[in-house]
Structure 1
């Protein structure tokens, strides 16, 4: 409501500024014509003062209109950007793969920025044109009806017909500009993110050629749009000239017939020149409207996307017992479930290891536990409350997640840890690092906690990144911790050591360890074996080794592989 009031005020100020411009030119014409008759100076005093007032008023009101209009628009954009971010948060991460990362960036930045044109370059100019154009026609009509009629026709041509023709000419180019710029952003982001692989495989040139072709297409669309804008400007100039000539002809005839004071002829002729300032920007406004509509449609696609989790309002006091009963789950757009008929019960301090090959459904189970994905069948409850009735953020304050590709921000170790708890003091940070068995390495660094880790943790190894992520989870103090493939992409020795350290760091908390290696499973209270999304075995480590089945076969195969690596002298701590 506040922004709406400011926009209305901006429209009034803009109309006032343009009205001053029209009044300035009309008064100046009258003043010059009357002064040529050499009347007493006092007869011109009011007109002289009015010229000064209109000249100052035009500048002051224009400045105020820009100030108020941009303030209101930026407030609208800030609110819209917050809404878009909140929607992306609701969609992520399960619902985001429907959009390319670069395309999401374009929607979040460029498309939201484009919405400002709806107010600054479309609605405000149209409102000002209607008000000032109408008053100008009324003023001209009072002086000379024929001139008023000619001005009305010319303004309608310049303010309605010309913008319509401009849009008809440039609509396709404007739409292509919006979509192609988004495609360009997406392509550049993918090129930069995949640059090492593209260069290593000699594929970078092909991507650059594709981006160059897209850039040329953008240039052609911009050229077509510029041609349309030029044609619109030319037609507006013709309409202005036509209105002036018509006013001149009508005024001269009226003066000859004695129906118009000769002094007012200059006012009748100059009035159209000032009035047309109100419609000069309307062809550009029409083009902006096409881009605004295209950007609005792209943003509406984000708002219309179905969130992968239901947004309840309840807040659980405790996550225990955490119970999955007959849970099945599928990812958005998937034709078959990634998880089928899974049962799980987590109690305080209980440790559960979930193992299985790639594609077995382990990460899907993790996504369900931290409410990135809702079950498509079965029930999931916390303390007896169905999770779809609970606020997803409230659930995530109780269930922490340490991902296999844990993200580190391009800042210091200190700031990365404080993502979990911004108010944490230094002793608490060191305690979390010690629990993750990485405090010694951090102390050895020249800058200690203030050491930058680089973009996505590029300046630390894989093992160090995982330990920092674990320290972050420890610092947050979640009652339940889900460790999702924390040892992925590490060598066996490093992976096994990290797995045991992870379980040691989460001692006393309910922990779900999801892993493709079996090291550390002997410390779990229960081991759940997944295959093709289904539970095929469950029990303690010792019980599963005592029977013939997938778990024992996997354990024996892993031990033979580790023995072979040790015998062949394979590197033992790559990435730690």
Structure 2
């Protein structure tokens, strides 16, 4: 159970204020002690000031440590809580509004803004207000008119100047966050796509674009740095003018050398916690922009509406019925238009068609990742919209495009699909995916690079297939399993797939026709509609997309 952060925040504010007050008291007591000692009074007259100086010096260090400890504890807890809520907001399927690099920038850079909001803005402002109030009280006790001058200086340095820097920085901060995300995207493209870029001779162009994005960000940050420098100079100028005015008033009022020293040093130290507020105002503009970007992610509604009272999850064996399904990605453009099919238990159906025909959209609709405009999908007679999305993806899932491999061991990557799987189950999944030789060479504890960069394309696809087979859903969905593989590897993978999916309810999306004579039905999608359907030998016998693709594939193999 999470403990509330409110009490910790209060303690952090009080500790910070106490540290600033101790520093103020230290300077005031030391100034009084030094000037009074110059008059050579008895030691008893100085004993209280000596003790106070020691107490304030010790207290300043203790309270500052407590403020740092408590304040950073609150800030880090708030940052962790923000990241957790952001993760939870991303768990329900959402429309693809943000790219991966942009989301990474929001997850890392923007969530740090919460920490800065507390540590660099709110806590210093609260502590500075209390310390400034104490300095004004000291000024009122010694010379009221000097206190008024001090109030004016503190308000100018602690309120007007931060407001001005915030307004000046706002115009740059609104541009810096997107520029940083753009640079992150360019760098991610260079890191993850370096091999492809080099193969196509596009590496220099990609590097030039990344350097241009870096220069654009650096130019914006240089302009923001000028705001910071101007704020620092302005605060120091206000501090100096205020102290000079207080000293002149004290000398003309007859408060004596002791009173003048106390007023001068108290006024000087009162600005110590106030001067950083100008930089805090500048930082506040960037923080608010980051918070708005985080709010955009959290406020984005899920791509599908979950039922208020989900129906019980159907039990296997499952019969999937798709009736007149229409799915639109954008207004007026149907990715699927009136698609109907029936997937009985143990039946294997292949979906083929040109790019953009709606093949992957059909799988997304089956996994409850997109909302149909009309039509319905039923599992054992239960409408998909009446089921919990997680239950749907438990029943129908498998190998999607671009499977992700984590930077951990081969065993752990497999166990993502079956955390409780034993060695025998892992070995069977590897055997079914034809990965035995590779696992035998590398071992189960071989460390795999991030996103599968240390394995070949065929190994990555087979590992993802092994993961899907280990999960063993009642309805196995396979989306372009041979994508981006060389001809020989793709043929072997497709042959293995059609072998291990025998008697499994399977929906296979592919652009390769070799081996499809083994499936029960082939459906050809064109522009979101079913253009042809039947068995392989039936489709190659009639004119159409399927026969053209088959003839092209045969000629290519020759």
TM-score normalised by length of structure 1: 0.88
Equivalent of residue 387 in structure 1, options 360, 384, 387: 384
Paired position in structure 2 for 1:294: 289
Question: CA 1:387–1:129 in structure 2 vs 1: closer, same or farther (change >3 Å)?
Answer: farther
Paired position in structure 1 for 2:138: 139
Separation in structure 2 between the aligned mates of residue 424 and residue 190 of structure 1, nearest angstrom: 35
- Does structure 1 retain, via aligned residues, the 8 Å contact 2:28–2:262? yes
Paired position in structure 1 for 2:325: 327
Separation in structure 1 between the aligned mates of residue 501 and residue 245 of structure 2, nearest angstrom: 87
After superposition, where does 1:206-355 map in structure 2 within 5 Å?
206-255=205-254, 260=255, 263-312=258-307, 314=310, 316-318=312-314, 320-331=318-329, 333=330, 335-355=332-352
- Does structure 1 retain, via aligned residues, the 8 Å contact 2:495–2:515? yes
- 1:368 equivalent to 2:370? Answer no
Question: CA 1:49–1:391 in structure 2 vs 1: closer, same or farther (change >3 Å)?
Answer: farther
Deviation at residue 37 of structure 1 after TM alignment: 2.9
- Does structure 1 retain, via aligned residues, the 8 Å contact 2:540–2:547? no
Separation in structure 2 between the aligned mates of residue 280 and residue 34 of structure 1, nearest angstrom: 30
Deviates more, 1:361-370 or 1:501-510: 501-510
SS class of match (1:115): helix
After superposition, where does 1:145-224 map in structure 2 within 5 Å?
145-224=144-223
SS class of match (1:433): helix
- 1:119 equivalent to 2:118? Answer yes
Equivalent of residue 28 in structure 1, options 1, 15, 30: 30
Paired position in structure 2 for 1:572: none
Deviates more, 1:12-21 or 1:177-186: 177-186
- Does structure 2 retain, via aligned residues, the 8 Å contact 1:370–1:401? no
Question: CA 1:479–1:165 in structure 2 vs 1: closer, same or farther (change >3 Å)?
Answer: same
After superposition, where does 1:383-462 map in structure 2 within 5 Å?
383-443=380-440, 445=441, 447-462=442-457
Separation in structure 2 between the aligned mates of residue 400 and residue 512 of structure 1, nearest angstrom: 10
After superposition, where does 1:57-68 map in structure 2 within 5 Å?
57-68=59-70
SS class of match (2:525): strand
Deviation at residue 418 of structure 1 after TM alignment: 1.3
Separation in structure 2 between the aligned mates of residue 437 and residue 220 of structure 1, nearest angstrom: 53
Question: CA 1:185–1:463 in structure 2 vs 1: closer, same or farther (change >3 Å)?
Answer: closer
Question: CA 1:215–1:382 in structure 2 vs 1: closer, same or farther (change >3 Å)?
Answer: same
Equivalent of residue 475 in structure 1, options 470, 476, 493: 470
Separation in structure 2 between the aligned mates of residue 323 and residue 553 of structure 1, nearest angstrom: 27
Separation in structure 2 between the aligned mates of residue 15 and residue 181 of structure 1, nearest angstrom: 35
Alignment root-mean-square deviation, CA:
2.7
TM-score normalised by length of structure 2: 0.91
Separation in structure 1 between the aligned mates of residue 525 and residue 175 of structure 2, nearest angstrom: 48
- Does structure 2 retain, via aligned residues, the 8 Å contact 1:526–1:538? yes
Give unpaired runs (5+ residues) of structure 1: 569-576
- Does structure 1 retain, via aligned residues, the 8 Å contact 2:313–2:391? no
CA displacement, residues 232-256 of structure 1 (integer Å, 9 cap, x when unaligned): 222222222222223223323332x
CA displacement, residues 531-565 of structure 1 (integer Å, 9 cap, x when unaligned): 221123444556x45974648735xx62x556545
Deviates more, 1:405-414 or 1:272-281: 405-414
- Does structure 1 retain, via aligned residues, the 8 Å contact 2:323–2:339? yes
Deviation at residue 152 of structure 1 after TM alignment: 0.6
Deviates more, 1:35-44 or 1:200-209: 200-209
- Does structure 2 retain, via aligned residues, the 8 Å contact 1:3–1:73? no
- Does structure 1 retain, via aligned residues, the 8 Å contact 2:400–2:479? yes
CA displacement, residues 176-201 of structure 1 (integer Å, 9 cap, x when unaligned): 33332222222222233333344344
Question: CA 1:431–1:536 in structure 2 vs 1: closer, same or farther (change >3 Å)?
Answer: same
Question: CA 1:190–1:491 in structure 2 vs 1: closer, same or farther (change >3 Å)?
Answer: closer
Aligned length: 553
- Does structure 2 retain, via aligned residues, the 8 Å contact 1:327–1:342? yes
Separation in structure 2 between the aligned mates of residue 521 and residue 200 of structure 1, nearest angstrom: 32
- 1:109 equivalent to 2:104? Answer no
Separation in structure 2 between the aligned mates of residue 494 and residue 290 of structure 1, nearest angstrom: 54
Deviation at residue 430 of structure 1 after TM alignment: 0.4
Deviation at residue 497 of structure 1 after TM alignment: 4.2
Paired position in structure 1 for 2:7: 5
Deviation at residue 202 of structure 1 after TM alignment: 4.1
- Does structure 2 retain, via aligned residues, the 8 Å contact 1:90–1:307? yes
Separation in structure 2 between the aligned mates of residue 168 and residue 419 of structure 1, nearest angstrom: 48
CA displacement, residues 328-386 of structure 1 (integer Å, 9 cap, x when unaligned): 1123x465111111123334333222233333211111111122222122122334444
Paired position in structure 1 for 2:506: 511
